């Protein structure tokens, strides 16, 4: 059971703040909507390295869903990744603990696999929801500041947690 590395796009790979020179600007056309994103091409390699050294699997946990494989992954050097389906907002169950809409989908997908979740909208309510959810393995929520997006510190936290918990399956 490989640990999961769950990846958000907006606020994590695509920060909301003024982009630094590390980021490049892209346009994405999804249906009739055009989105501008800022992506750091180094993020892909860093994430792949983390996945390899910890024996983890990268998975999208974003409302971009499969569009992330078309518009985000190739631009930062990631392969096509599995996608957690986030359902439609109309069929979302009422929030029990004040958790965000993605959290039950993440729990259902993770099952008994340990996971690290990088997201700018994970809070104590999500932690609580996941802690009381029966049958989940251990997990680490890494809250990312949406203005800056994913940094080395976040990757370091994930690496340390996976290593110290013994979930790391790398060599």
Point out which residues bind Mg ion (CB under 5 A). Answer: 8, 10-11, 120
Q: For Mg ion, which residue has the nearest CB?
A: 11
- Shortest spacing between CB 129 and Mg ion, in angstroms: 17
Which one, 150 or 168, has the nearer CB to Mg ion?
150
Which one, 149 or 168, has the nearer CB to Mg ion?
149
**DSSP secondary structure string, 38-83?**
EE-THHHHHHHHHHHHHT-EEEE-STTTTHHHHHTHHHHT-----B
Cβ-count burial of 151 within 10 angstroms (0-12 exposed, 13-18 middle, 19+ buried)? middle
Which one, 99 or 120, has the nearer CB to Mg ion?
120
- Shortest spacing between CB 133 and Mg ion, in angstroms: 21
- Shortest spacing between CB 164 and Mg ion, in angstroms: 26
Are 62 and 10 in contact by the 8 Å Cβ rule? The answer is yes
Which one, 8 or 126, has the nearer CB to Mg ion?
8
């Amino acid at each position: 059971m490989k640990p999961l590395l769950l990846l958000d796009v907006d606020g994590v790979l695509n920060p909301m703040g003024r982009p630094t020179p590390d980021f490049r600007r892209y346009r994405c056309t999804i249906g009739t909507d055009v989105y501008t994103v800022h992506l750091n091409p180094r993020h892909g390699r860093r994430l792949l390295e983390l996945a390899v050294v910890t024996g983890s699997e990268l998975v999208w946990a974003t409302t971009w869903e499969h569009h992330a494989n078309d518009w985000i992954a190739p631009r930062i050097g990631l392969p096509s990744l599995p996608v957690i389906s986030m359902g439609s907002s109309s069929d979302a169950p009422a929030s029990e603990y004040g958790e965000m809409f993605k959290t039950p989908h993440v729990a259902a997908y993770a099952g008994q696999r340990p996971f690290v979740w990088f997201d700018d909208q994970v809070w104590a309510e999500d932690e609580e929801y996941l802690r009381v959810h029966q049958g989940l393995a251990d997990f680490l929520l890494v809250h990312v500041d949406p203005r800056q997006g994913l940094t080395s510190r976040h990757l370091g936290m994930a690496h340390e947690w996976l290593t110290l918990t013994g979930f790391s399956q790398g060599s």
